[in-house]
A and B are shown apart, each in its own frame.
Chain A
Amino acid sequence: MIPSSFEYFAPTTVAEAVSLLQKYGDDAKILAGGHSLLPAMKLRLSNFGALIDINKIHELRGIHVDGNISIGAMTTYHAIESSDALKATCAILPEAVSLVGDIQVRNRGTLGGSLAHADPAADPPAVMLALDAHVHVTGPGGNRTIAIGDFFTDMLTTSLQPGEIITSITLNPLGAGEGAAYSKFPHPASRYAIVGAAAYVKLEGGKVSACRIGITGAGPKAERQASAEAALIGTDGSAEAIAKAAEHAGENMDVLSDIHAGEDYRRAMIKVYTRRALTAAVERAR
């Protein structure tokens, strides 16, 4: 299959890319790793007049850890999963990303591309929610920062405005008393998440003082789980407390039903995978 024709641009700076996006408006599309976009273009589900390849913008690549963690939007999954700095400060991320697709997908696919695409079955969005990430973007109006909680708005839809490019993602490194883990039920062929749960827990004086849970795969978009989080906070994080809290996962959430899994099954799996992620996160926090 062959995509329909387009004009190809490979800018080397963010400013150049933003001005191309402005010039071509709705007819322009950014190309990052291409592992969601090119398959859609080959099937002619996406057609554009101008393709703006941001792979040559070197400032968008790289991982910096000093006080906080900053990951360039064009950093590949493979760079993330092999980063010793991330393994030491935020192990959940390299672990979760190593479960994405296969190594060829991870050699090309990027963190920024995953977030911008907002596939309901993608792994990184759940992890970003659990880690309370910030998404930094540049557009015609300059730079702005979007809290991850305000980023995913619907299936394949984000709060990015026309002409905006994600430039980097920032996170706080995990310190003493903090732990995070991702647990995924992959589709057996594609490896996309049928249900994925990311959990972050903070322990202070033997009690859970903070908790964030992100669920992906199950609904139209990745979502936090407020009632399960509230149920765990204040407890001792025991197996019993985790099991009780996990029972609340999926509450107030739209859940999908498709050929891979029905709604009831997904709801059951949301609880199971939340419990597993919380258990691993608490273990790491201790």
Chain B
Amino acid sequence: MTAITVTVNGKQHHSEVEPRTLLVHYLREHLNLTGTHIGCDTSQCGACVVHVNGESVKSCTMLAVQADGANVTTIEGLAHNGQLHPVQEGFWEKHGLQCGYCTTGFIMAAADLLQKNPHPTDDEIRHGMEGNLCRCTGYENIVRAIRYASEKMAAK
């Protein structure tokens, strides 16, 4: 077992983990933050995207021990004081989901995209979301949701 200290959604956790524990398993099973999903075993679907020190990463392709000392944000930490993040609001308003399984990963990836590029074109949105797969609703409403968030953030 290895001792780690990780700040998740602003709260510091001291934990003992096996080195082989993936970050996604640590979040889901040790911290009970089950909003982060696992959709594949091949690092391709993006259902598990979280932010580590502000950058989006696939938490199934990183070890929990590698997050020692890091700041992690999951879907549970995106809203502030009951106020949805503009990307969350966009997915609600534009119906950017059907079954919802891929949604949390999409929202985390989109939040990182807008932080790097606040005014993306539709092409840039599609290119920026290459790491996330949706198997039911298609991508049209997802792009609309992200565009909604970008406009909403610009209006502030």
Contact = CB atoms under 8 A, between A and B. Distances in A.
9 contacts: A2-B20, A5-B20, A38-B63, A39-B43, A43-B41, A53-B66, A101-B130, A102-B130, A107-B57
Interface of A: 1-8, 10, 31, 34-35, 38-39, 41-43, 51, 53, 55, 78, 101-105, 107-108, 189-191
Q: What bracket does the count of chain B residues touching chain A fall in?
A: 20 to 34
B77 to A, nearest CB: 18
Contacts of A105: 43, 58, 131
Interface of B: 2, 18-22, 25, 41-44, 46, 49, 55-58, 60-63, 65-66, 109, 112-113, 128, 130-132
A6 B131 contact: no
Contact of B131 (A7, A8, A10, A102): A102
Contact of B42 (A39, A78, A102): A39
Contacts of A4: 20
B41 A38 contact: no
Given A34-B61, A103-B109, A8 B2 contact: yes
Contacts of B132: 102
B43 A35 contact: yes
A104 B131 contact: yes
B131 A103 contact: yes
A34 B62 contact: yes
Contacts of A101: 130-131
Nearest to A8: B19
Nearest to B59: A104
Nearest to B56: A104
Contacts of B130: 101-103, 191
A154 to B, nearest CB: 24
